[in-house]
Structure 1
Amino acid sequence: MPQSETELMLKGYGLTTAEIFYRMPDYRNVLNTFVWQDYDLAPDHPKLFDFIDFWQSEIEGPLHSVRFTHRKMISPGEWRHITGEFSYH
């Protein structure tokens, strides 16, 4: 069963964004870019490296370089469960 984004963030996942530069298969002097984004665990980034392995084995455009960033959206200490809210005017 897939987990929600909130559940992933509470387990330590953060949003990883990678900009992938690759050479066009027919024109090796032309670089193109592809942006990949998913929730992943730092510092090992297993999903990102699985995608790079997939790219190298299945896609014809050879990789030139990969630039990525990782940002945790929330941490478990920032989460509070609230059962009700009262407004006072």
Structure 2
Amino acid sequence: MIDRALMVRLEGYGLTTAEIHYYRPDAPSLLNLFVWQDYDLAPDFPVLFDFIDYWNRGIEGALHSIRIVHDQLVRPAEWRAARGDFRLG
């Protein structure tokens, strides 16, 4: 079985982290922080924007700001299949 994280990274996805600051529904003058993380495609971030749409529809806390960080360490162009056996000892 192949790991989901490896498969999505080979398709161009990278680990995306979003710091979401929102106003607390019970105390609108206070901000709270929610950290969201998933694999997503930069620069369009369709998975993140689906989550933000869900937030706007189903969660009472109004959004204040969002900071996005995206990891692109492994890309499809960097992956190569290796052939051979390596024996140690």
Equivalence for 1:76: 76
Question: Where does residue 64 of structure 2 map in the other structure?
Answer: 64
| CA drift at 1:81 | 2.0
Note if 1:16 corresponds to 2:29: no
Deviation string 1:54-74 (CA, Å, 9 cap, x unpaired) is: 001100111111111111130
Runs of 4+ in 1 over 3 A off after TM superposition: none
* Number of equivalenced pairs: 87
Corresponding position of 2:39 = 39
TM-score (normalised: structure 1): 0.87
CA pair 88-60 structure 1, distance change in 2 beyond 3 A:
closer
Q: CA RMSD in A?
A: 1.8
Return the TM-score normalized by structure 2.
Answer: 0.87
Alpha-carbon offset, residue 14 of structure 1: 0.5
Q: Compared with structure 1, are the counterparts of its residues 57 and 88 closer, same or farther at alpha carbon in structure 2 (3 Å cutoff)?
A: closer
Unaligned runs of 5+ in 2: none
